[in-house]
Amino acid sequence: MIAPFDRPALGNIMQVAWVTPDLDRSLGQFKGIYRIPEFLVMEQRFPADVFGQAGEMSLRLALANVDHMQIELIQPLGGGVDSIYRDVLPADGGHANVFHHVCVKINGSLAEWDAHVAGLGPDQPIVYTGDVGPDARFLYTDQRDTLGIYVEHVWFGPDTEARMAAVPTYRTL
């Protein structure tokens, strides 16, 4: 008999994400090939810790919701501690949309987020944290040995949830 989980394992996946060296080119590909007409595009700079190295993270991001899944495209802008993104890109400088992570959303209170983080075991090492403001939390765990990708864990407070309403949403059914 399989023992029940005390919490969902990979439950509540709300996002799939790719890293690209050229966000504009990737946006054209996702529009033309996958018929996602518009993304919310933004630049973000924030303090981060990646594999124990503290510094600034500088990214250009694009978000769109398709049915109940968010699509994220990430372009590292260079410098700082962006190796978690930059290192997966083609070494020859060519273009690729590299599948990078899924995102698990933790619903509930900040205390529930704290309990989730405290429950991450040694098989889910935290390798990336960032400070994006008082109303959101995120971290990445390194699951490359079991899943081949990272797993992002997020929690949004009410203000961040309200801002996420600006992400374009498309229905396929």
| Residue 172, pLDDT above cutoff 60 | yes
The per-residue pLDDT for 5 is 44
Structural domains of the chain, with CATH: 13-167 (3.10.180.10)
Q: What are phi and psi of 94, to 5 degrees?
A: -70, 170
What is this structure's pTM? 0.93
Please state, in angstroms and as integers, the Cα–Cα distance from residue 27 to each residue in 39, 41, 71, 97, 134, following that order: 8, 10, 11, 10, 30
What is d(CA 19, CA 72) in angstroms, rounded to the nearest whole number? 8
pLDDT band with cut points at 50, 70 and 90 for residue 80: confident
Range from 2-6, 53-57, 112-116 carrying the lowest mean pLDDT:
2-6
The per-residue pLDDT for 6 is 55
Q: What DSSP assignment string belongs to 11-55?
A: -SEEEEEEE-S-HHHHHHHHHHTT-----EEEEEEEEEEETTEEE
Q: Is 101 helix (H, G, I), strand (E, B) or coil?
A: strand
Q: What is the pLDDT of residues 120-136, one digit of tens each?
A: 999 999 999 999 999 99
Mean pLDDT computed over every residue of the chain: 93
| Residue 49, pLDDT above cutoff 80 | yes
| Residue 4, pLDDT above cutoff 50 | no
Range from 6-15, 18-27, 33-42 carrying the lowest mean pLDDT:
6-15
Please, are residues 48 and 152 in contact by the beta-carbon 8 Å criterion? no
| Residue 48, pLDDT above cutoff 60 | yes
